[in-house]
Amino acid sequence: MRPALPADRFVAPFANEKAARAANAGAYPPDLSLMVKARNGGADYLYAVLMGYKDEAPEGVELADGMYFNEYFPGRQIAMPPPVSADAVEFADGTEATAEQIAHDISAFLTWTAQPELEQRKSMGRKVLLFLIVLSAMLYVLKRKIWSDLH
Ligand code: HEM
């Protein structure tokens, strides 16, 4: 152990995959850093899963041991316990910590983590636009020069 650095990865909560499965009804908790890109629906799907838990399965649905009913998870049985609840965190600016607010923030955060190349892409985009503006100006001047004695 050593003091953490901003660039450190989160420490995994389980020793290995088997320990993780043993603690989660046999399911392996996925890496969430690219989850928004890995699922159809992206951030909307994530938000839906986080908010999609029901206290009880509807009539006629048998839940397997250690599983939870979730309307938006494929198959509707999920091994993840509901991770979001109201007032689980406190916002420094006094924003009310509803479950919806927390799920919304997590979805936005995981959209950001899913694009590690974002900063580089935007900085490249700015350079490309600048280049195109300068090139257009030069082509315009050139066009005027070429056509100047042809009128
Ligand atoms: C804010 C915290 C969390 C978020 C945003 C989150 C999100 C997710 C997402 C998006 C999935 C994948 C759903 C899919 O495959 O389409 C998942 C799966 C899973 N998560 Fe979480 N999770 C969180 C916390 C936790 C915690 C605290 C646990 C364990 C106690 C956990 C255990 C699992 C397990 C076992 C699965 C696999 C579910 C299955 O295949 O049935 N998650 N989680």
Residues 26 and 5 reside in one and the same domain: yes
Contacts of 42 (CB under 8 A, 6+ apart): 36, 111
The rounded Å distance from CA 58 to ligand 1 centre is: 22
Same domain, 123 and 94: no
Of 44, 47, 80, 105, best ligand 1 pocket probe by most atoms within 8 Å of the beta carbon: 80
Is the same domain home to 62 and 123? no
Name all residues whose Cβ lies below 6 A of ligand 1.
24, 27, 29-30, 32, 35, 39, 46, 49-50, 78-81, 83, 106
Report CA(131)–ligand 1 centroid distance (Å).
44
pLDDT digits (tens, 9 = 90+) for 9-65: 888 899 999 999 999 999 999 999 999 999 999 999 999 999 999 999 999 999 999
Q: What is the pLDDT of residue 143?
A: 95
Statement: residue 142 has pLDDT above 90 = yes
Residue 114 CA, chain-centre distance (Å), reads: 5
User: Residues 88, 22: one domain?
Assistant: yes
pLDDT in tens, 88-141: 999 999 999 999 999 999 999 999 999 989 999 999 999 999 999 999 999 999
| 7 and 20 share one domain | yes
Instruction: Report the C-alpha dihedral over residues 55, 58, 60, 62, rounded to 10 degrees.
Output: -30
Rounded mean pLDDT, 146-150: 89
Are residues 92 and 67 part of one domain?
Answer: yes
- 137 and 105, same structural domain? no
Provide the pLDDT confidence category of residue 1 given band limits of 50, 70 and 90. confident
136 CA to centre of ligand 1 in angstroms:
50
Residue 150: band (very low, low, confident or very high) from pLDDT cuts 50, 70, 90: confident
Q: Reply yes or no on whether the pLDDT at 151 is more than 80.
A: no
- The answer on 112 and 122 residing in a single domain is no
Domain assignment of residue 123, given as a range: 117-151
Query: Which domain CATH number covers 83?
Result: 1.10.760.10
Residues 110 and 128 both lie in one domain: no
Q: Tell me, in angstroms, the distance from the centre of ligand 1 to residue 41's CA.
A: 16
What would the two tokens of residue 94 be?
A: 């006094």
Tally of domains within the chain: 2
